Amino acid sequence: MHSTARHWLSISYRISAISLVAVTVGAVASLCAIGFVEAVAWLNHRLLVSPYARIQWGERPGLVMAATVLVPTLGGLVVGLLMRYGSSVRRALAPPDAILAVQTDQPLPSLRDGIVSTLAAIVSLGSGASVGQYGPMVYLGTLFGALAAKLKLGVKDLKAIAIACGVSAAIATAFNAPIAGLVFAHEVILRHYSLRAFAPVTVAAATGYVLANVVFELEPLFLVDFAGVSHSYEFLLFAFEGMLCALLAWVFIRLIEKAGKLAALVRLPQTIKPAGAGLALGLVALWIPEVLGIGQESLRFATIPGAFGAGELGLLVTLKLLVTALCVGFGFVGGVFSPALLIGILFGSLFGMTAQTIVPLELSGLVAYAIGGMMALASAVIGAPLTTILIVFELTRNYDLTIAAMVTVVFCNLVSYRMVGRSLFDRQLCARGFDLRQGRDRAILQSLAIADYASTDVTRADATDTAGAIRTLLVEQQRAEAVLTGAQGYFVGCVRLQTLLTLPDAEPVPRKHWRIDPAFTHATSVWDAMNALEGFVGESVPILDDDGRPVGSVSEEAVIRAYLGIVDDLRREENATA
């Protein structure tokens, strides 16, 4: 009876603790997300980036032109200085860092790095850089989740759950879409749907929604009027649009990657590179000011028939692709979700307009194609098809429009997955050495050093010792293998006791009997060790220091035990209920 009471008391404590974390992290992340958006809007207005501010100062065209060029240029300089002197990692922190922290349990960069990255994102967006606001908001949620995870609450998997709570609240706040925030956290960050995580993440998303929609009454991203899909044959057009969006997503992602490589080749100080991108952006904006910033006004106008001509839409799509890749690649801090939304809705509107001209059949209007293009492209870029479908439903409350967008999103992801993989985030992590395409267990095994599972107990022998002396040493220490060292203690190979039995006692072991491979270093991962041990026959593998001297050994049994322990932890986390 006492055992049962303690069990229920423990469950009650865990539920209470994790619920408190969910509400607290959700509220803080939501408030900071609101503050982030308001700070960016204030800077946009003060620095003549927003269309409304540019209209207000329309009587002074010289000032507007100067601001158009100088604001993004100087903003880029400030961002470069912030990242150079304020951040220890000297790069923007984004959703891939959150994914990596949750999937492999690696520590996040410091709190200071997170704050500097957030400030740099505010400056980037405030000065009109063509980057997104949702990526930095996701990392803000991650930051507060990671802080909560440092509390000694005795709750399993607290770090992953708390980070997911922060992320879900940030997305729920940004889109007034709590279900989308909940699914985004599971689809992109956690990548599983255990009940232990599902309940607190739902609470955090609901907290963010209440603050955004009830307390602060934030305006929705866009409002649309759609009567429904009038003709069944239009679903073929939605599917075709989705496949074209997959191609556009491939272009978008490849441009961002190429811009990053180009920036690495440019012989300028890293501090100056964002300013160079800002200057180029400003010069383009003198011609087409819609390329500045997030482009919420263009996002809303794209669903209105006649707001843009076909030529304008094609030009905007092309320029937004180029300037976004330039800004991201050359060091402005921000996400890619917002530009993907804008590029997608402009392309969708262009597709709908073209379809109305070419297809000799009646269509249901521009809205379905614009919204479908927006969500299809965004879903392929960030790898979240369910999230984007739910965003449509929660923002519009229109079932027919959601179904139309769903078809576009599904066909886009079917094609884009084969062209670019799951998402830009996964590609960025892969470039950093963490490949999640082969499963979470492999990524974790690649992040763990085999040296952590090694023993310092190594039987050493000099390569010039006789076979008899080495055999005697192995028998005394009850070992089946010895590590041979040469001059100054450098590793030269291993020799097995079974081999020594066939050699003359008074002679050194010939080189042909030395086993040189495998040998591990401190940098060898558990995954690499497992691959190296395929077909291995022996007692253990030596661990070498940076100079090539043996400092330990790891047995095949220890490697297998490490693998099984990681797999068991993953299955427990993914199927936990409380």
CA-CA distance, 454 to 448, in Å (whole number)?
A: 12
Task: Quote the CA–CA distance of 439 and 445 in Å, as a whole number.
Answer: 10
Tell me which residue has tokens 């558990």: 526
pLDDT at 257: 95
What pLDDT, on a 0 to 100 scale, did the predictor assign at position 456? 81
Please name the amino acid found at residue 189. Answer: I
Half-sphere exposure of residue 463, counting CA atoms within 13 Å on the CB side?
Answer: 18
Strand ranges of the sheet holding 520-521, from the earlier edge strand across to the other edge: 520-521, 540-544, 550-555
Token pair of 29 as six digits? 């992340």
Task: Report how far residue 371's alpha carbon sits from residue 378's, in angstroms, rounded to the nearest whole number.
Answer: 11
Contact between residue 398 and residue 226 where contact means Cβ atoms under 8 Å apart = yes
Which phi-psi region, left, alpha or beta, contains residue 272 (left: φ > 0; alpha: ψ -120 to 50)?
alpha
Tell me the C-alpha to C-alpha distance, in Å, between residue 292 and each of 50, 295, 308.
8, 7, 17
Sequence-ordered list of residues with C-beta below 8 angstroms from that of 462, at least 6 positions apart, any chain: 484, 485, 486
User: Could you tell me which residues come within 8 angstroms of residue 327 by beta carbon, excluding any fewer than 6 positions away?
Assistant: 124, 129, 130, 131, 274, 277, 278, 281, 334
Query: Which DSSP category does 510 fall into?
Result: P
pTM listed for this prediction: 0.85
Taking a C-beta distance cutoff of 8 angstroms, is the pair 145, 167 a contact?
Answer: yes
Chain centroid offset of residue 5 CA = 42
Q: What integer pLDDT is reported at residue 2 of this predicted model?
A: 64
Angstrom distance (rounded) from CA 131 to CA 518: 47
Closest C-alpha among 574, 569, 568, 567 to residue 192: 574
How far does Cα 467 stand from its chain's mean position?
55
**Residue 518, preceding peptide bond in cis (omega within 30° of 0):** yes
Which residues on adjacent β-strands are paired with residue 480? none
- Residues 6+ away with beta carbon under 8 Å from 276: 76, 266, 268, 330
Number of other CB atoms surrounding residue 511 within 10 Å: 11
pLDDT of residue 282: 95
CB of 256 closer than 8 Å to CB of 329: yes
Q: Which domains does the chain have, with CATH numbers?
A: 2-215 (1.10.3080.10), 234-439 (1.10.3080.10), 448-565 (3.10.580.10)
Nearest CA-CA partner of 274 in 83, 36, 40, 37: 83
Is 303 in contact with 396 (CB distance < 8 Å)? no
Give how far the C-alpha of residue 245 lies from the chain's centroid of Cα atoms, to the nearest Å. Answer: 21
CA 487 to chain centre: 47
In the prediction, which pLDDT does 501 show? 87
Give 10-residue mean pLDDT values along the chain (578 residues): 69 83 94 94 93 86 93 96 93 91 87 94 95 92 92 82 94 89 91 83 93 80 75 92 96 95 91 95 93 87 87 95 96 93 95 90 88 94 91 86 94 92 87 76 79 84 91 88 87 88 88 86 86 79 88 84 79 65
Which tokens sit at 194?
A: 């255990």
Using CA atoms, how far residue 78 sits from 40, 139, 262, 433, in Å, is 15, 21, 21, 30
Q: What is the pLDDT of residue 575?
A: 66
Q: What's the rounded Cα separation, in Å, for the pair 82 and 346?
A: 33
Give long-range contacts, CB 8 A cutoff, 24+ apart: 543-547. Answer: 543/450, 543/451, 543/454, 543/519, 544/491, 544/519, 544/520, 545/521, 546/521, 546/522, 547/490
Residue 327 DSSP SS3: helix
Helix, strand, coil shares of the chain, percent, nearest 5, are 65, 5, 25
